[in-house]
Amino acid sequence: MVDTLQVPSDRIHAGKNVLVTGGASGIGLGIVKRMLAEGANVASLDLKPTVAADTTNLLSIVASATDEADVEKAVAEVVTTFGGLDVMVCNAGVIAIAPVTDMEFSEWKRVTEVNLHSVFLGSRAAARQMVSQGRGGVIINASSGAGRRGVPNLSAYCASKAAIIMLTQSLAVELAPHKIRCNCYVPGHIETPFWNDIATGFSKVTGQTPAEVIEGFKASVPWGRFGTPDDVARTVSWLASDNAEYVSGQAIAMNGAEFPF
């Protein structure tokens, strides 16, 4: 599947300053491209450089979303470069696939550190900056359909993604007096390089080939296809826009009706 970016007819994020964690590939890169196309100044924090066709308003920050000092420095760099922070997207994530009886504690900690701790660090740093600016803002965090229902062999991933929804809902209530909106996006099966790891991991525990694993997951989607990064990015764009000004504390799914809740 080719993930094409549908060029928007208007630049709804013109003048906004956006920071995306995990923005160098997959869903994160899709969000970076969409926000750039819609007029935003975008910074991407990732362990790898972020490359996009439109680099005029792109700031690539090579750092770790799980390092407290790195996250705080990234927010400070965004403010210095662009003049403020309006939208924070905490997107960085990893996965581990194993029965709970076989999972090493080090793997459990790795998944929760990247998936959950990075969201706390990014949300906290963004909230501090937005409160100090006094003009509100938007924090958007990456959950998953696996954060809404248990999946065998994904205990660490499911637990971390469920915790993100609760963290986001708590932040929404806490930060509402400052006019800072906090929401989650909840992707289903999105076609990204992530699926190489998923297919390999499930192949080991199910005995299927990686290709069979992918076809099985695709067959579970009523819409008939995997989603694309831009399917997710368009929802994130809406949540970041003034059109969603009264939306906060929500977990919005895009999953081709696979789990309709």
Positions marked catalytic: 157, 161
CA pair distance 163, 175, nearest whole angstrom: 18
Specify the residue for token string 């994530």: 93
Query: CB count, 10 Å around CB of 149?
Result: 10
Where in the chain does DSSP place strands (E)? 17-21, 41-46, 58-62, 87-90, 137-142, 180-187, 251-254
- Cβ distance 220 to 186 under 8 Å? no
DSSP state of 105: H
Nearest to 216 by CA among 258, 247, 154: 258
